[in-house]
């Protein structure tokens, strides 16, 4: 499980200095630290970074409110960003080796600047299991975050198909197909939610292309009967699987192998379709955001 903790800043009445902060905050309990600054990193921020580094923990220096710095038609954004990075680097050069360790973000524009790079960096700093939990628990804050999610889902699909294959060897007619249907339906419902498609509004769906809209509607209303029908579409493969169960010894192996391939095929197909739909939803949201920003600028 991943927990995010909003720690108090140094310099407040209860945490006036680093010494007091260290006494009250158990640094060892945390895997990594994010140090935020809306303008310049303060001396307290730098002391905190030094302390975190001394105990072998990773930290990320995050410069926020970048949208405010880049707001305005006359602003040369590349120059502004370079100036901000240079100023931050001058401020923290004793603690990091490259400006790539500084992240410029805005909570109002997660598709811009370093937001996705920050998420990827935090993920890379965590152990594998925590990395997976973090990626799957995050909302669809960026397009790349969606792609990282589906990458983990494809790995999980192999595990799920392997477990399903173990039930194929039970010599009860069509039981394997029924189990597959239940497994696939359960996983697809999880995929649908993890990719944020359960939160799409009717307005969002209406603005999508026909294919993406139909994918969302189909997966949202899918029943066990529909999934059983989908799995049994390739009648020949299902028939071979069922027949193979009754061949002593080697038949179980054949049936399990076929079952594994069928389940994996359908799970990967579902992931691919849902990924495309989720990206379409995300792209549309970005277009609306850009249009709203443009309309606001025009009015001003």
pLDDT recorded at residue 240: 43
Q: What is the dihedral of CA 226, 228, 231, 235, to 10 degrees?
A: -110
The parts of the chain modelled with pLDDT lower than 50 are 170-175, 234-253, 296-298
pLDDT recorded at residue 100: 82
Q: In the CATH scheme, what is the code of domain 18-127?
A: 3.40.50.300
Instruction: Please provide residue 154's backbone torsions phi and psi, each rounded to the nearest 5 degrees.
Output: -70, -35
Nearest one of 25, 26, 44 to 35, comparing CA atoms: 44
pLDDT recorded at residue 104: 92
Using DSSP, how many helices (H) and how many strands (E) does the chain show?
Answer: 13, 3
Domains of the chain, by residue range, sit at 18-127, 139-298
Global model pTM greater than 0.75? no
- The CA distance from 50 to 66, in Å, is 25
pLDDT recorded at residue 242: 44
Averaged confidence pLDDT in the chain: 75
């Amino acid at each position: 499980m991943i927990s995010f903790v909003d720690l108090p800043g140094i310099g407040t009445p209860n945490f006036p200095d680093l010494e007091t902060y260290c006494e009250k905050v158990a640094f060892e309990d945390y895997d990594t630290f994010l140090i935020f600054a809306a303008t310049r990193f303060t001396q307290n921020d730098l002391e905190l970074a030094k302390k975190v580094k001394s105990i072998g923990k990773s930290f990320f220096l995050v410069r926020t409110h970048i949208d405010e710095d880049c707001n305005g038609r006359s602003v040369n954004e590349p120059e502004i960003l370079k100036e901000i990075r240079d100023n931050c680097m001058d401020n923290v050069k004793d603690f990091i080796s490259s400006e790539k360790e500084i992240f410029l973000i805005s909570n109002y524009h997660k598709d811009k600047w370093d937001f996705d790079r920050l998420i990827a960096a935090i993920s890379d700093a965590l152990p594998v299991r925590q990395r997976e939990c973090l990626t799957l628990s995050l909302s669809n804050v960026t397009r790349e975050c969606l792609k990282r999610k589906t990458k983990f889902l494809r790995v999980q699909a192999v595990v799920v198909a392997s477990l399903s294959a173990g039930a194929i060897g039970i010599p009860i007619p069509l039981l394997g197909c029924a189990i597959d249907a239940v497994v696939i339906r359960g996983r697809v419902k999880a995929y649908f939610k993890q990719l944020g498609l359960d939160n799409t509004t009717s307005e969002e769906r209406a603005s999508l292309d026909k294919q993406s809209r139909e994918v969302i509607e189909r997966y949202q209303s899918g029943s066990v009967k529909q999934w059983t029908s989908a799995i049994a579409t390739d009648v020949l493969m299902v028939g071979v699987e069922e027949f193979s169960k009754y061949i002593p010894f080697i038949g179980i192996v054949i049936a399990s192998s076929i079952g594994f391939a069928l389940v994996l095929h359908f799970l990967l197909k579902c992931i691919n379709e849902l990924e495309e739909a989720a990206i379409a939803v995300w792209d549309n949201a970005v277009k609306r955001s850009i249009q709203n920003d443009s309309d606001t600028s025009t009015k001003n």
